[in-house]
Structure 1
Amino acid sequence: MSITPEQVPGSSFTSPDASTLDFQDQDGSRGTTIIEEPEKSIRNFGGEEEDEKRDVELAVAAQPVSVPAPLDDGPPDGGYGWVVAVCQFFINFATWGYASAYGVFLSFYRETNFFPGATDIEFALIGGLLLSVAFLTSPLSNFLSKTYGFRIPMSVGVVIFTLGQIFAGLSTKIWQLFLTQGVMFGLGVGLVYMPTLPVLTQWFNKRRGLANGLASGGAGAGALVISILTRNNIQKLSLKWAFIINGLIAFALLTPSVLLMKTRVHATGAKFEPLQPRWLWHKGYAFVLLWFFFSVLGYIIAIYSVATYATAGLGLSQTLAANIQAITCGFQIIGRPGVGLSLDRFGRINGGSGATLIAGLSCLLIWIFADSYGLLIFFSVIQGLTGGTLFATCGSITAEVVGVKHIGSAMAIMWLVGVLPSTFAEPIGLALVDYSTNHLGWTGRKAFEISICFSGGSFIVAAIVLMGAKRHVQGNWNMLTKA
């Protein structure tokens, strides 16, 4: 670019390169102005106003351009993320581990008539209430996390969860058990667990399935330990002290886990969003919600009824029934990380659907024919490896369909969808057993056949409907495509 002295009266200009502008005034002083993208020519300027305008424009052009930094789209796939995974492992241990061990309490309540006048359906409803209140808490915990940060609802949840178990140990009437082991326990689980759901996915991408599987394996580990510990404490101490000891252990595990948990909200753009019903009719996510609904329906019946089947169906002792419960839950320690690893290898939807299908077939092909302790153990192993994996896969599948940014609000809807099946699954299962006994005259393990078929059928329906989400993600029905 060059500017002749005639173009600007009283000044002379030279342009040695395309990024500088040299000038010389009449008094002989010289200077250089740096510009970002000089024009090929500059029009005539005349008068002081044009000179001032030109100086302002050149000064503005010389300013550095501020470009917003893009969001970090690369999770570290490790580092402190593994600390977060360990924290979530112990959170699952002390929340869902206790919830999964409810079958031990249910079997004890039914066999001993510990609360006189209470019915089997009422005891089943307590287990369902525990889960449904936890699911219902999701919008509240999401709101509190958005407003005050995730540690506030988690800390409150730890206190409620601990007190719920202590007060349950002091309960002498069934309505007190509804409030403590049902409502308080569920509220504590929801406030502690729900805020952590989006966190782990923010730390992992390629290893997301494995990380979620390892973390959710805490539920299996917790159920294994708590099932055995609870049964031993009930026998050697009392129901009261079994509850109190469980509460103190939970407090000791949850407190450091809450303190060490960290998010990457600012780096990923993930949000603690308010409840958004739009996910109910999302073309792909609606299939995920249906999968979750039917999976919960099948899982609750299987996990809560297996100990009762051992005692009422096969005539085994309470100790052996507790062992069956522990085996079912214990193999989730292997199953959840294993299925999580398969999600990364074969696709998140493929892995989730496959595990759900196997869980259903284990009910229809193994459990219904289990007429011995050994065969029931075999069923417990297969069910443990696959049945509870819906909690290991739901986060990864949700992220696959709606994206990490919206996982919080999408999963809040998922937990609400889980309220009905979690509340009524076990009452439905026991009602089917009662119907078989009172109306069909079936006894022993045969009285459980309709309930077992209902559980297995629910799993299989869930596996099939999840293929709709696969169709949405990949755009076709090719079952061999990784998705």
Structure 2
Amino acid sequence: MEDAASPTPLERIKSSTVPDGGYGWVIVGCMLCINAVTWGVNTTYGVYSAYYLQHNYFAGGSTLRYAWVGGLCVAVSLSSGPLANYLVGKFGFRTPFLIGAVCVCVGQCCAGIAPNYGVFLVCQGLIFGLGLGLTMIVAQPLLAHWFDRRLALAQGIANAGSGVGALILSNTTRVVLQRIDVKWSLVINGLISISVLLPAAFLLRARDQHVGMRSHPLKISYLWHPGYMWVCLWGAFSIMAYFVAIYSLASFATSGLGLTQTQGAALQSILAAGQAIGRPCVGWALDKGGRINMTLSAYLITGLSCLVIWLPAKSFGVLILFALVQGLVGGTLWSAATPLTAKIVGVKELRSALGILWLALVIPSLVAQPIAIALLDHSERVLGRKGPEAYYISIGFCGGMGIASALLLYPAKRWIQGDWKVLKVA
């Protein structure tokens, strides 16, 4: 199928004219800040859900119901790809980005004053989730307008913003919750987000005409593209491993090993710091060692670390090691998605193909944490396991998803290089 084939020689010539720097570094800085106040803010949801459960804030609230809110938020953001691409094709990138920025702010502020669980679900899950999607999906392909050889490095630096935001905002959120209240905490975070997103919207620049980028709202042919279908499967499995790990680690520490809430929060901060450091490093490695090779290696490490570090962990020190490893490589998906897509389908089709990848991640991101909770509940209620043993099935599931995602990426490597040689750079 011609429109889903590998980059043509003309496209490769065009990619050679990409600046690989210049104003592109301003775009990187903007993207870092955008990720800090969108996906970085999103990580504070764990702080809020713990607060709601502890204080019985909403009638009928439960661990599983709050997990669905978090999953719904991510699912809505990823499923907004067709809408985002349509709006970009109609109005350019800036208009949908500004709509997303308003949704990010309004969703948080309205969640703060929500009178019941249903309104909270709409505000935090739907409105805020739509804002996350419109800002990320619209802005994500812009780096490929400015970078070619150093695209993965630029993407890694930009995506480090989510770790920086998580590290800062999760701690400031706890302070505001303790000293003021949950309503003002959400309102303050919403205002912080809009104060960063509005200037960024006018600093971002596209080079659509230079790279010839298209914006198809829903180009489903990429689901059976012989190379890209494996990227979609890799994304689906890797995002399940990612969310199970980041949402279950603190619970394992406090409920499984009996550590303090302060230690559980410290692990989340260490994981966020690992993301801030690891994503630029992973991006650099992708550019130097081959984008598929390094991504595949990162997810082998991700899966094995669950099985050989997290599973037998019995102390805070071992969990610190796991949090560092998971922070460094566990979120490689966010740094690798754009460079891998550009390598397989070319920059011209990047926005259209990414829209399909985000859709492929919707259901996995929605069900990942509820599956982990259901497995934990099965261990406790049916198998009668207590303490850390109750988490063993969930941890095994997380590790299995990580290893499976690495293996699923190997056929894409074969499609690019034309053979099954393991060590060949691709």
TM-score (norm 1): 0.84
Counterpart mapping for 1:420-459 below 5 A? 420-459=363-402
Q: CA deviation at 1:316?
A: 2.9
Q: Decide which of 119, 144, 158 is 2:62's aligned counterpart.
A: 119
Structure 1 123/372 Cα, relative in aligned 2: closer, same or farther at 3 Å?
same
Q: CA deviation at 1:243?
A: 0.8
1:174 and 2:117 equivalent? yes
Partner of residue 200, structure 1: 143
1:219 and 2:173 equivalent? no
Q: CA deviation at 1:443?
A: 1.6
Partner of residue 318, structure 2: 375
Q: Decide which of 72, 83, 89 is 1:129's aligned counterpart.
A: 72
| Aligned amino acid, residue 85 of structure 1 | V
Q: Decide which of 261, 273, 281 is 1:318's aligned counterpart.
A: 261
| Aligned amino acid, residue 86 of structure 2 | F
Partner of residue 290, structure 1: 233
Structure 2: any 5+ residue segments left out of the alignment? 1-12
> Structure 1 stretch 352-361 or stretch 468-477: which is displaced more?
352-361
Counterpart mapping for 1:355-434 below 5 A? 355-434=298-377
* Contact 1:72–1:267, Cα closer than 8 Å, also in 2: no
1:461 and 2:404 equivalent? yes
Deviations 1:47-68 (A, max 9, x none): xxxxxxxxxxxxxxxxxxxxxx
| Aligned amino acid, residue 34 of structure 2 | I
Question: Could you say which structure has the larger radius of gyration?
Answer: 1
Q: Decide which of 190, 194, 199 is 2:133's aligned counterpart.
A: 190
| Aligned amino acid, residue 385 of structure 2 | W
Partner of residue 34, structure 1: none
* CA distance, structure 2, for counterparts of residue 342 and residue 307 of structure 1: 29
1:479 and 2:422 equivalent? yes
Structure 1: any 5+ residue segments left out of the alignment? 1-69
Deviations 1:361-407 (A, max 9, x none): 11111111222222211111110001111100111011111111101
Counterpart mapping for 1:31-430 below 5 A? 71=14, 73-430=16-373
Structure 1 234/319 Cα, relative in aligned 2: closer, same or farther at 3 Å?
farther
* Contact 1:73–1:268, Cα closer than 8 Å, also in 2: no
| Aligned amino acid, residue 472 of structure 1 | W
| Aligned amino acid, residue 459 of structure 1 | G
Q: CA deviation at 1:315?
A: 2.5
Q: CA deviation at 1:71?
A: 5.0
Greater fraction helix = 2
Structure 1 367/124 Cα, relative in aligned 2: closer, same or farther at 3 Å?
same
* CA distance, structure 2, for counterparts of residue 201 and residue 298 of structure 1: 27
Counterpart mapping for 1:6-17 below 5 A? none
Could you say what secondary structure the match of 1:219 adopts?
helix
* Contact 2:34–2:197, Cα closer than 8 Å, also in 1: yes
* Contact 1:231–1:322, Cα closer than 8 Å, also in 2: no
Q: CA deviation at 1:413?
A: 0.4
* Contact 2:16–2:148, Cα closer than 8 Å, also in 1: no
Pairwise CA RMSD: 1.3
* CA distance, structure 2, for counterparts of residue 433 and residue 324 of structure 1: 20
Q: CA deviation at 1:264?
A: 0.9
Structure 1 122/72 Cα, relative in aligned 2: closer, same or farther at 3 Å?
closer
Structure 1 371/286 Cα, relative in aligned 2: closer, same or farther at 3 Å?
same
- How many residue pairs match? The answer is 414
* CA distance, structure 1, for counterparts of residue 14 and residue 364 of structure 2: 38
* Contact 1:100–1:303, Cα closer than 8 Å, also in 2: no
Q: CA deviation at 1:299?
A: 0.5
* Contact 1:221–1:333, Cα closer than 8 Å, also in 2: yes
* Contact 1:356–1:390, Cα closer than 8 Å, also in 2: no
Deviations 1:229-267 (A, max 9, x none): 112221222111211111111111111111100011111
* CA distance, structure 2, for counterparts of residue 377 and residue 72 of structure 1: 42
* Contact 1:270–1:406, Cα closer than 8 Å, also in 2: yes
Structure 1 291/71 Cα, relative in aligned 2: closer, same or farther at 3 Å?
closer
Could you say what secondary structure the match of 2:95 adopts?
helix
* CA distance, structure 2, for counterparts of residue 108 and residue 310 of structure 1: 17
* Contact 1:100–1:329, Cα closer than 8 Å, also in 2: no
| Aligned amino acid, residue 270 of structure 1 | M
* Contact 1:208–1:396, Cα closer than 8 Å, also in 2: yes
* Contact 1:103–1:308, Cα closer than 8 Å, also in 2: no
* CA distance, structure 1, for counterparts of residue 15 and residue 281 of structure 2: 29
| Aligned amino acid, residue 246 of structure 1 | N
